[in-house]
Amino acid sequence: NAGVMQNPRHLVRRRGQEARLRCSPMKGHSHVYWYRQLPEEGLKFMVYLQKENIIDESGMPKERFSAEFPKEGPSILRIQQVVRGDSAAYFCASSSERADTQYFGPGTRLTVL
Amino acid sequence: AQSVSQHNHHVILSEAASLELGCNYSYGGTVNLFWYVQYPGQHLQLLLKYFSGDPLVKGIKGFEAEFIKSKFSFNLRKPSVQWSDTAEYFCALNSGGYQKVTFGTGTKLQVIP
């Protein structure tokens, strides 16, 4: 699971700015998942992507949040016009085509001032 | 809808004590069950998983878990904890063929030397 890379590890933004979080899946994995962990809470599913496709975005807030996983390059979770309530740890996970087990990255801790 | 309950939010044990962390889930169909661990400042690591077969699953670092279908439970156990087991433990599930993982709220384990 050390193969899932996320950057940056820590991100500080002021209210109204944009946050871009990157995730490079483990080598050979084509499925990416994003989760959010709020303080004192468990991880909540946000979105599930395969290359160039959003498969399930049922956990994504309806506004300001978007995700992509282009043919080339990392998956991006984008949060526009951040608010204090967006402060959380955002974890990316990846899995293989069999997609039975997800392996997690180190997370990006977003702080909104 | 699937859900996972971890009733113990914070557990404190002395070294060499035995550990059992409760996990109950709610879902009517086939499930895959997981325990993840998050050591302080680190990302989630997979401890063990159950897909099918022997309901007693052995994982890394001496942990094991037992799937009891009739009780919708997947409790985590370790006969003798060490200080290095201090971490947060998450029970999780996904339903067969569907990739979204649902996490419990986590149990923080503190082992006192």
A43 touches chain B (CB under 8 A): yes
Mean pLDDT, to the nearest integer, of A5-30? 95
- Please state the length of chain B: 113
A74 touches chain B (CB under 8 A): no
Q: How far is CA B63 from CA A37, B68, B80, in A?
A: 24, 17, 10
Q: What is the pLDDT of residue A76?
A: 97
Mean pLDDT, to the nearest integer, of A88-98? 89
What is the CB neighbour count within 10 angstroms for residue B17? 14
Residue among B90, B101, B107 with most chain A CBs within 10 A, to mutate = B101
Average pLDDT, chain A: 92
Q: What is the pLDDT of residue B97?
A: 61
> Tens digit of pLDDT for each residue in A21-49?
999 999 888 899 999 998 777 889 999 99
DSSP H or E run through B66: strand B64-68
The pLDDT averaged over each successive group of 10 residues in chain B (113 residues) is 89 97 90 92 89 93 95 96 96 78 93 94
Please give the share of chain A, as a percent, with pLDDT higher than 90: 73
DSSP state letter for B96: T
Min Cα–Cα distance to chain B from A91, Å: 8
- Range from A42-51, A80-89, A101-110, B20-29 that averages highest in pLDDT: A80-89
Q: What is the pLDDT of residue A1?
A: 44
Mean pLDDT, to the nearest integer, of A81-96? 94
Q: What is the pLDDT of residue B86?
A: 97
- The number of C-alpha atoms within 13 Å of B50 and in the hemisphere containing its C-beta is 24
**CA A69 – CA B40 distance, rounded (Å):** 29
Which residues, including other chains, have CB under 8 Å from residue A1's CB and lie 6 or more apart?
Answer: A26, A103, A104, B43, B44, B45, B46
Nearest to B50 by CA among A31, A33, A101: A101
User: How open is the CA angle B53-B91-B88, to the nearest 5 degrees?
Assistant: 135
| Top-confidence residue, A14 or A38 | A14
